[in-house]
Amino acid sequence: MHRFAKPSVFLKLTAPILPWLAGATAILIAAGLYFALFASPIDYQQGDTVRIMYLHVPSAWMGLFCYVGMAICGAMSLIWKHPLADICARATAPIGATFTALCLITGSLWGEPMWGTWWVWDARLTSMLILLFLYLGYIALVNAFDDPDRGSKAGSALALVGAVNVPIVKFSVDWWNTLHQPASIVRMDGPAVDPSMQLPLALMILGFTGYYFVVLILRVRLELNERRIRALHLSGMFDDNAQDAEPYDPGHNAETSQ
């Protein structure tokens, strides 16, 4: 695993993977949307509004998944000081925050026709809202320092402390009496969702997860390339007036430079 922590190895490995992953994600989401919107039955009580579920549940899953990923990256950066783990944690935060917000918005749109209210202060909704605040706090903290490394480290510590909230979100529906329904997919006696609805749900969850990895890889590559450009600028390579400047030393990145 430590081998992959080298930025040049990451760039070389992800270049061929990226198009395949992006393609697979596009197919999964397209298929998932087809099944979710056309080829799945309507609910006998909820009618067509049940289709909101196919966006709501994967978004909720991604909100938690991204936070766990961010906390693991934070732990890795604190323990082994991987530069790549820092960048991954930073890149994950806005994606996770967006999915969490999407989950809250779709949940609100679903709640209005079903529960008759846009928002209730029950445990699941509130803990999800706190998750969103934790993401926003992380993003604000990471960007609050002049030295990006210091920001990443402070952010890693916060991500780990905030991880207390993840099990609370997951089990809030079991620990408290909530308006939100109890766990229906991941539970001991098998999923409680009808098989005809499981397929589109699974496709959407896989598609969203794939989307996360595509965007993550893109964002990490962007950050790495930005750093490389900054290093080139600092070395004076783009400076026309400095003909006698030291030539840029590609160092350990040499093997991947085009």
Interaction site with another protein (CB under 8 A): 78, 126, 130, 133-134, 136-137, 140-141, 144-146, 150-151, 153-154, 157-158, 160-162, 165
Q: Which residues contact 112 (CB under 8 A, 6 or more apart)?
A: 118
In Å, how far from its chain's centre is CA 238? Answer: 36
Rounded Cα distance, 183 and 172, in Å: 10
Helices (H), the chain: 7-37, 53-80, 83-115, 123-142, 148-162, 165-175, 195-234
Nearest approach, Cβ of 164 to another protein (angstroms)? Answer: 8
Nearest approach, Cβ of 47 to another protein (angstroms)? Answer: 35
Nearest approach, Cβ of 139 to another protein (angstroms)? Answer: 9
Nearest approach, Cβ of 79 to another protein (angstroms)? Answer: 12
Q: Which CB atom, from 50 or from 142, has the smaller least distance to another protein?
A: 142
Q: Which CB atom, from 71 or from 217, has the smaller least distance to another protein?
A: 71
Closest Cα to residue 204, out of 38, 47, 46, 53? 53
In order of 8, 60, 181, 230, the CA distances from 65 in angstroms are 26, 9, 20, 32
Q: Which CB atom, from 158 or from 203, has the smaller least distance to another protein?
A: 158
Q: Which CB atom, from 154 or from 185, has the smaller least distance to another protein?
A: 154
Place of tokens 């732990």: 75
**Amino acid identity at 162:** G
In Å, how far from its chain's centre is CA 113? Answer: 29
Q: Which CB atom, from 37 or from 164, has the smaller least distance to another protein?
A: 164
Neighbours of 16 (CB within 10 A): 9
Nearest approach, Cβ of 250 to another protein (angstroms)? Answer: 29
Assess contact for 131 and 63: CB atoms under 8 A: yes
Nearest approach, Cβ of 132 to another protein (angstroms)? Answer: 9
Q: Which CB atom, from 151 or from 207, has the smaller least distance to another protein?
A: 151
